[in-house]
Structure 1
Amino acid sequence: MQPISVVIITKNAAHLLAATLQSVKLLTDSIIVCDTGSNDATIPIAKKNGAKVIEEKWRGHGLTKNIANEQADYDWILQIDADEIVDKQLLDTLLQLDLSNEKQVFTIRRKNYFVEKLIRFGQWRHDDPTRLFNRNQAIWNEDAVHEKLICEDDCEVKKLKGALLHKTVQSTEQYTEKMNSYAVKSGEQYFKNGVKGVSYKVLFSPIFNFFHNYILRLGMLDGREGFIIALTNSRYTKTKYKTLQRLLRQQKQ
């Protein structure tokens, strides 16, 4: 066991949560599931698998994570999603990790799956999010989507051996709906941040995005799934900038 609190934010995550919780049960005696309004079996599954459940209103990704992290038992936080399974190599790495230096921040490689297919190329190939940190040294910003961890200047970033098996997509329809929702939120965040000059981006950024991920990053080698990912991300980019464009026009009226 390690003095690490595993903290997971959930909403309707019953389909994968048990596997995620089982993958960390040997790591720690502190697993926190912060639920934000599930109406499926998420909470009973969390309790059955040994997690402490807290319920909070959804306040955006960053702020909700910060609220949950404040209620953790330990200062070291392993922040994972309900669809991120810790593989054996990562578990072994975490169990042997020296946590005496709280100035360390750790990234972890994610292996991203489209349904049951491991995606090896395209936008999903290089994915090393920050997942382990000391809450006295780092905090999430309050962006509604694509939140970032803000660390003290003297923190040292390291990469852990092993991977998170990210079962992010259960169907094409679910993926499309999720990305459209993220795109609208990203456009709203751009507006909040004062981003301008959007007209040409609505036209050209989606095309470049598809070309970059499908051709330059070799997404084509992932077959049908690679095409769907590249196309969906292109549409994400278009929706994001169209949302920003709409908000800018409303502002002028």
Structure 2
Amino acid sequence: MIPVSIVIITKNEAALIANCITACKPISDDIIIIDNDSTDYTPKIAESLGCRVFLENWDGYGANKNKGGLLAKYDWILSIDADEIPDAELITALHQLSFNDSKVVYDIKFKTYFGKKIIQYGSWGNNHKIRLFNRIHVKWSNSKVHETLLLPNFTNIKRLKGHIDHFTVQSVQEFYQKANHYANLSTEQYLINNKKNVFLKLYLSPIFGFIKNYIIRLGFLDGAEGLDIALITYKNTWSKYYRLKQLQRKLDSLSTKTHIIKDFDMEYK
């Protein structure tokens, strides 16, 4: 084994988690599951496969991944999702690392699947992410969604051989449900961050995103799946900004009413 802890956050991943853990066991003797109120057998399956399972409140993707990092046996953290499988070449590459430089982070190539089909173009194609890092210097942002790693200026990024197979969705219906879930989380995050220029984002970002995904990045070459990805991504982008606009209107209305009430109270005091 190598001095790496694997952190996986889960919720109702019983259909996927066993394959993920089995693929990760040749890498590490410390696999940590941060579970968020699963109503299926996810925690029991993980425990039966020798993982350390922690039932935690949901504070967002980044925050919960950081919880796993704090509970890790080793300083080196490999972040994996329940629907991801490291391939044999990547596992071999991990075993060949020296882990003697804590300032290095490792970028890993991803192969993303729509059902059983590998998506090679569009926003899902040619994908790679930093997933191996040392917790002494690096942690996740506390964003509820679309979390990113906070990298110091001295960070040295290296690419690993091999890849991670990402079985992201099995059907159009599942993809739509996931996209809707992420749209809700994004709206909440945008509201917290007081995001502005919602009008322009609402009408321009969805169109630009579709053109970039389907045409510029050649998503149309992935056939029906490429079109489904582009269309649902378009709708997801429009939906999150529409919801944000509606929420901001409600908040502005409440703020105005509160201001009027305060002025009224002051006038008659």
Alpha-carbon offset, residue 22 of structure 1 = 1.1
Cα distance between partner residues in 2 of 1:94 and 1:200: 45
1:46-57 correspondence runs (5 A): 46-57=46-57
Does structure 2 conserve the Cα–Cα contact (< 8 Å) formed by 1:188 and 1:243? Answer: no
Alpha-carbon offset, residue 235 of structure 1 = 0.5
Bigger mean CA offset, 149-158 vs 74-83: 149-158
State the TM-score, normalized to the length of structure 2. 0.91
Residue 5 of structure 1 corresponds to 5
Residue 221 of structure 2 corresponds to 221
Cα distance between partner residues in 1 of 2:165 and 2:49: 19
Residue 258 of structure 2 corresponds to none
Alpha-carbon offset, residue 177 of structure 1 = 0.8
What residue identity is the alignment partner of 1:29?
A: D
Q: Secondary structure at the match of 2:215?
A: helix
Residue 167 of structure 1 corresponds to 167
Alpha-carbon offset, residue 113 of structure 1 = 0.3
Does structure 2 conserve the Cα–Cα contact (< 8 Å) formed by 1:7 and 1:79? Answer: yes
Bigger mean CA offset, 192-201 vs 144-153: 192-201
Q: Unaligned regions of 5+ residues in structure 2, if any?
A: 254-269
Q: Secondary structure at the match of 2:98?
A: coil
Residue 35 of structure 1 corresponds to 35
1:85-234 correspondence runs (5 A): 85-234=85-234
RMSD, matched Cα:
1.1
Alpha-carbon offset, residue 21 of structure 1 = 0.8
Bigger mean CA offset, 123-132 vs 94-103: 123-132
Residue 79 of structure 2 corresponds to 79
Cα distance between partner residues in 2 of 1:144 and 1:252: 24
Equivalenced residues, count? 253
Once the two structures are superposed, what CA deviation does each residue of 1:83-141 show, in whole Å capped at 9, x if it has no partner?
11000010000011110001111111110000111000011013211110011111111
Cα distance between partner residues in 2 of 1:65 and 1:26: 21
Q: Secondary structure at the match of 1:23?
A: helix
Q: Secondary structure at the match of 2:127?
A: coil
What residue identity is the alignment partner of 2:113?
A: Y
Query: Where in structure 1 do 4 or more consecutive aligned residues deviate above 4 Å?
Result: none
Cα distance between partner residues in 1 of 2:22 and 2:71: 21
Cα distance between partner residues in 1 of 2:187 and 2:53: 32
Alpha-carbon offset, residue 209 of structure 1 = 1.2
Cα distance between partner residues in 1 of 2:117 and 2:173: 16
Cα distance between partner residues in 1 of 2:171 and 2:46: 23
Cα distance between partner residues in 1 of 2:76 and 2:93: 15
Does structure 1 conserve the Cα–Cα contact (< 8 Å) formed by 2:111 and 2:126? Answer: no
Q: Secondary structure at the match of 2:229?
A: helix
Cα distance between partner residues in 2 of 1:181 and 1:75: 32
Cα distance between partner residues in 2 of 1:173 and 1:106: 34
Residue 17 of structure 1 corresponds to 17
Residue 44 of structure 2 corresponds to 44
Alpha-carbon offset, residue 191 of structure 1 = 2.1
What residue identity is the alignment partner of 1:57?
A: N
Alpha-carbon offset, residue 37 of structure 1 = 0.9
Cα distance between partner residues in 2 of 1:200 and 1:164: 36
Alpha-carbon offset, residue 36 of structure 1 = 0.9
Q: Secondary structure at the match of 2:190?
A: helix
1:236 aligns with 2:236: yes
Bigger CA radius of gyration: 2
Does structure 2 conserve the Cα–Cα contact (< 8 Å) formed by 1:27 and 1:95? Answer: yes
